[in-house]
C-alpha cells in the first residue's frame, strides 16, 4: 500500500514539474514573440532615409549630387552618385537643389558612394 502511495506521489511530482516546464516554455515563446513584433513595429515607423543637395552632373541613368544634408545610414559624404531604374533623370538640371529619398540597403561603397534613389523632389 505504501508503495502505491509513493508511486502516486512521485507521479504527481513528475507531472507537476513537467507542467512547470511547459509554462516556462510558453513564457519564453511569448517573450520572444513580443520582442520580434516590437522590433518590427519600430522598424516600420522610422523615417525614410533621404539626402539633400545640389545636382552637379546629370546623365541618362545617374546623377552626381553635392550633399548638404544627410539623413541616411551612409553618413555624411560630400558627393553621391544617385542611380535609379525607374526614374528619368533627364528632366533634372545641374544646379537644382533636390531632396532624394534613398534605399540604404544597396549602397555601393565607392568614392563617391552610389545609392539607389526612390524619389526625387526639386526644392528650389
| 11-69 pLDDT, tens digit each | 777 787 777 777 778 777 778 888 887 777 666 545 578 889 999 999 888 899 998 88
Same domain, 95 and 113: yes
Q: Which residue has the cell 533636390?
A: 98
Same domain, 58 and 108: yes
pTM here is: 0.57
User: 50-58 and 97-108: which strand pairing?
Assistant: antiparallel
Cα distance between residue 51 and residue 53, in whole Å: 7
| 100-119 pLDDT, tens digit each | 888 877 666 777 888 888 88
Quote the domain boundaries for residue 6.
1-46
CA angle, residues 54, 55, 60, in degrees to nearest 5? 160
Same domain, 73 and 118: yes
Same domain, 39 and 59: no
Amino acid at each position: 500500500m505504501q508503495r502505491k502511495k509513493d508511486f502516486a506521489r512521485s507521479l504527481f511530482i513528475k507531472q507537476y514539474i513537467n507542467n512547470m516546464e511547459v509554462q516556462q516554455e510558453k513564457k519564453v515563446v511569448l517573450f520572444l514573440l513580443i520582442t520580434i513584433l516590437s522590433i518590427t513595429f519600430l522598424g516600420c515607423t522610422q523615417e525614410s532615409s533621404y539626402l539633400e543637395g545640389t545636382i552637379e552632373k546629370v546623365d541618362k541613368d545617374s546623377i552626381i549630387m553635392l550633399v548638404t544634408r544627410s539623413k541616411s545610414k551612409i553618413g555624411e559624404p560630400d558627393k553621391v552618385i544617385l542611380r535609379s531604374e525607374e526614374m528619368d533623370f533627364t528632366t533634372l538640371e545641374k544646379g537644382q537643389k533636390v531632396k532624394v529619398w534613398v534605399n540604404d540597403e544597396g549602397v555601393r561603397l565607392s568614392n563617391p558612394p552610389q545609392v539607389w534613389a526612390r524619389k526625387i523632389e526639386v526644392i528650389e
